[in-house]
Structure 1
Amino acid sequence: MIEGDTIFYSIVIELKALESGVIPTFPGKKIHGLFFNILKDVDKEISYKLHEDKNYKPFTVSSFLGKKIDEPVTILKGKRYYIRMTFLEEKIFILFTTKIFKNKIFKEKINIEDISFSIIRIIFDKEHSKWANLLTIDDLLKENYDNKISLIFITPTLFKTGDKHLRYPDPEKIFNSLLIKFNKYSPYKLNEKVKEKFNTIKIIQRKTHLKYIYFPNFYLQGFTGNVVFEIPEDNYELKKTANILSDFAFYAGVGYKTTMGLGQTRREEPVNV
């Protein structure tokens, strides 16, 4: 893959509800199921591998964009709804989008929970949705890197360590998890030794709160909100790595269960703190 080629994708799918209903628990789990149902129709082997291999997760899904995630979601017939999916491998991106385009063209309905939807539009660019975009190597290798980085964690974010769930922002956990995933799926590799300096990244501003997410038989709790990180000015490699990983977070998600809509993260414009 040469410089300039796309390496990560984020798409938004606009849906129209064909019937009314209620999704009582976290919709991200249901949309996760939809993702696999669509992929299974195209390639059962790849779908099975994605589902079973805990170390191979080159995608994320969202909940319903703009809807509350800590209470039941009411779906109304005729209304439009939006979901998002990201892809860290082009092969999965092509398989999935080819299938949903066919669904749209042939007006084949899809189901989330037991509620039917039609596909109205598939959005690929940020001009039509702030949640759609693509990332290229050229985007990553920009010349100017900020030493203050602001990330907003849209959906609850947490980290699993053994049997424990860590529910507060931790620079080392955040950037280390992103580094592992980045080097797994990107053709451009970062120097993993830089992770030894992640403990020098400071949180200089935090406006977060804890939020519950209810699954059918259990619940999780994670943080949402804005966190501003400061990277030491005198370490260029650390600053470059932290900036690249912060851009990558939009596609990868952060922390635990990103394939079910947790840890959805956006980078904000540079801030003066």
Structure 2
Amino acid sequence: MLTAIILELQPINDAKLPLSHGVFSYAAALSLLERIEPDLPRRLHDSASSKPLTTSPVWGGFRDGTLFRLQRGKTYRWRLTGLDEAVSTCLSYTEAGVGNVRIGDTIFCINRVLSEPQEDPEVGKTTYESLWSHWQNISPPVRFPVQFHTPTTFRRGHVEDPFPAPHLVFGSLVNSWNTHSPQSLGEITDVLREMVILTNWKGETRRVELGSRRTVGFVGKFTYSVIENLPEICRVLGLLLDYAFYAGVGWQTTHGLGQTRLAYKVKE
């Protein structure tokens, strides 16, 4: 199961958050899940490097230097996604009555939880099987414009690589899909490396603070194209980019990095 919800939050006082607050966002998400399923955070901690949970930054703050300023009584948005049954079930049970949320030093009350797709385009609910079936039954495009909303980077050994190379973007998605989906795509990354190119882009790099360390990630709009009109390859790209709506791309998606969207809706 795949689930994306949005929590509408209101700080109980005027407050501040660092521009990069992914460490706090992830800790808050684990605390929230623990109230619904007490053993789940430990299982997530012990799971593979590709966690079945992503968090977004808190959206809507006023930027002031290296901080976001938050106003008491104003509503902000915080998005969480689940990539497996356990996390998705917990998210589906999340409601305003679950209690306050602490992100960093800021305490928020939950004003509303958006959990149905018709409530907001950033909310979603589907299954791996449904995504697979959808892309097997349409005529796919050969070009895919992709928007990277938050800094995105890839871990390679002991360093990060903040470049939107096709094999890194789609290799990340293949690894995540194969980890969490009941239906593996197999060893397809090398095929995508040969068949997919970056044909257009407009982006930049941004620095991100990650607790005791920092990194750099790219943001912007990038178009990926299949060099030949091969429907099966195009379907895999479309499938993976639809999956990215839930999974994100790259390293530290649990901390708000790699928030990614297919930049247009593919016609049936």
Pairwise same-fold verdict (TM > 0.5): yes
Is 1:48 paired with 2:42? yes
Within 5 Å, which residues of 2 pair with 1:1-273? Answer: 7-24=1-18, 26-67=20-61, 71-98=66-93, 100-101=94-95, 104-105=96-97, 108-136=99-127, 137=130, 138-193=133-188, 195-269=190-264
The range that moved more, 194-203 or 163-172, is 194-203
Contact kept? 1:63, 1:69, Cα under 8 Å: no
| TM-score normalized by the length of structure 2 | 0.89
Cα shift readout 1:89-114 (whole Å, capped 9, x = no counterpart): 1221212442x32xx236x2221112
Q: Which amino acid is 1:109 matched to?
A: N
Show structure 1 runs of 4+ deviating over 4 A.
66-70
After TM superposition, give the deviation of residue 224 of structure 1 in Å. Answer: 0.1
Identity %: 25
| TM-score normalized by the length of structure 1 | 0.87
Q: Which structure 2 residue ranges, 5 or more long, are not aligned?
A: none
Q: Which structure 1 residue ranges, 5 or more long, are not aligned?
A: 1-6
After TM superposition, give the deviation of residue 194 of structure 1 in Å. Answer: 5.8
Q: Which amino acid is 1:71 matched to?
A: T
Report the number of matched residues: 261
- Structure 1: distance between partners of 2:97 and 2:38: 22
Note the aligned Cα RMSD (angstroms).
Answer: 2.2
- Structure 2: distance between partners of 1:269 and 1:206: 15
Contact kept? 1:70, 1:211, Cα under 8 Å: no
